[in-house]
């Protein structure tokens, strides 16, 4: 058994590690003091999920969800078959590392594994291992699929990347034991809420420019209509008495007249916090940016 602290096992666009201090400040004290349920409807790599699991022993139950079936399949595999997954990942890692120094052979290996993954004919465990392999070896850890749901990110240029982090997989598997894992649209998570529930939403961000493609995680785009549907869902949760926190990009930072989110969430508390994006092909665009943290709690409650 392992005593390691579980951390995200994937690189994921919009990973929230950088925002955790601000999220911590925004947590509703009244909920966290008792037993509570934590629901994360857009889980991605789960940076906030693992932080919550590690820091709040009175977290009674967690529910995670994502629309990406391959991602959720990988979470389920880690939970139920960590050792089988580790065995496959060790083989993939050894084979890939042996090709170090021979770029052509590495490429050939990568594209063969990508093709195999896209056939989606392997066992759940093998698909999960291929998903982790591709995430660790592809360009910038991006996840992008075409209209046919085929993963189409080219190979990255990492030397001997860690593909099998055995200790962490075991720690994650243990941590996920009290987590309900769902796959589908975020609205389905409402069925899992109880009296003392906190929702954290980290949807695909509204792009700051036409070329930034942070929101292409799935074959269906998360456009402005989708952002509005999410606001409506947040309103519904508010009316039902649930507490939520939501993050998104600060489009005002790019264009000060852009009031998209200020208008959309005018009934709630909007904070602007510093954030640094790690996934951006252009290093010049990796500078300090603001992000939005929006919540339906009153400010007095946050700082009480």
Ligand X SMILES: C[S@@+](CC[C@H](N)C(=O)[O-])C[C@H]1O[C@@H](n2cnc3c(N)ncnc32)[C@H](O)[C@@H]1O
Binding residues for ligand X (CB under 6 A) = 12, 14-16, 41-42, 44-47, 65-68, 185-186, 202-204, 217-218, 222
State in angstroms the smallest separation of the CB of 41 from ligand X: 6
Cβ-proximal residue to ligand X, closest one: 44
Q: Please tell me what DSSP assigns to residue 32.
A: H
Question: Closer to ligand X at the Cβ: 41 or 207?
Answer: 41
Question: Closer to ligand X at the Cβ: 187 or 238?
Answer: 187
Rounded to whole angstroms, what are the CA distances from 144 to 68, 152, 184, 221?
11, 6, 18, 11
How much is the CA Rg of the chain, to the nearest whole Å?
A: 20
Question: Closer to ligand X at the Cβ: 39 or 88?
Answer: 39
State in angstroms the smallest separation of the CB of 57 from ligand X: 22
Separation of CA 239 from chain center: 27
145's CB contacts (< 8 A; 6+ apart) are 151, 152, 216, 218, 219
Rounded to whole angstroms, what are the CA distances from 203 to 13, 41, 220, 246, 259?
11, 8, 13, 8, 18
Question: Closer to ligand X at the Cβ: 73 or 106?
Answer: 73
State in angstroms the smallest separation of the CB of 11 from ligand X: 9
State in angstroms the smallest separation of the CB of 83 from ligand X: 25
Helix axes 69-80, 82-98, angle to 10 degrees: 110
State in angstroms the smallest separation of the CB of 32 from ligand X: 19
Question: Closer to ligand X at the Cβ: 106 or 277?
Answer: 277
């Amino acid at each position: 058994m392992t005593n390691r602290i579980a951390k995200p096992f994937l690189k994921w666009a919009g990973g929230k590690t950088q925002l955790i201090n601000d999220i911590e400040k925004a947590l509703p004290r009244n909920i966290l003091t008792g037993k509570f349920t934590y629901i994360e409807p857009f889980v991605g790599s789960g940076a906030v999920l693992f932080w919550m699991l590690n820091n709040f022993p009175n977290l009674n139950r967690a529910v995670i969800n994502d629309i990406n079936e391959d991602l959720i399949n990988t979470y389920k595999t880690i939970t139920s078959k960590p050792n089988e997954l580790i065995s496959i990942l060790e083989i993939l890692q050894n084979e890939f590392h042996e090709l170090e120094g021979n770029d052509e052979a590495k490429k050939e290996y990568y594209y063969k594994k990508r093709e195999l993954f896209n056939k989606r004919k392997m066992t759940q465990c093998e698909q999960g291992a291929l998903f982790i392999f591709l995430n660790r070896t592809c360009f910038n850890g991006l996840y992008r699929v075409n209209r046919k749901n085929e993963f189409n990110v080219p190979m990255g240029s990492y030397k001997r990347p860690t593909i099998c982090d055995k200790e962490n997989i075991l720690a994650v598997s243990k941590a996920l034991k009290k987590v309900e894992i769902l796959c589908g649209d975020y609205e389905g998570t409402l069925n899992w809420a109880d009296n003392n529930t906190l929702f954290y939403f980290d949807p695909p961000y509204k792009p700051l420019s036409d070329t930034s493609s942070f929101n292409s995680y799935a074959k269906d785009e998360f456009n402005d209509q989708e952002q509005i549907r999410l606001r409506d869902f947040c309103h519904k949760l508010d009316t039902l008495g649930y507490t939520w926190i939501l993050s998104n990009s600060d489009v005002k930072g790019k264009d000060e007249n852009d009031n998209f989110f200020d208008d959309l969430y005018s009934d709630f508390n909007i904070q602007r916090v510093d954030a640094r994006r790690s996934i951006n092909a252009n290093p010049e665009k990796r500078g300090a940016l603001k992000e939005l943290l929006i919540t339906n709690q009153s400010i007095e409650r946050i700082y009480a």
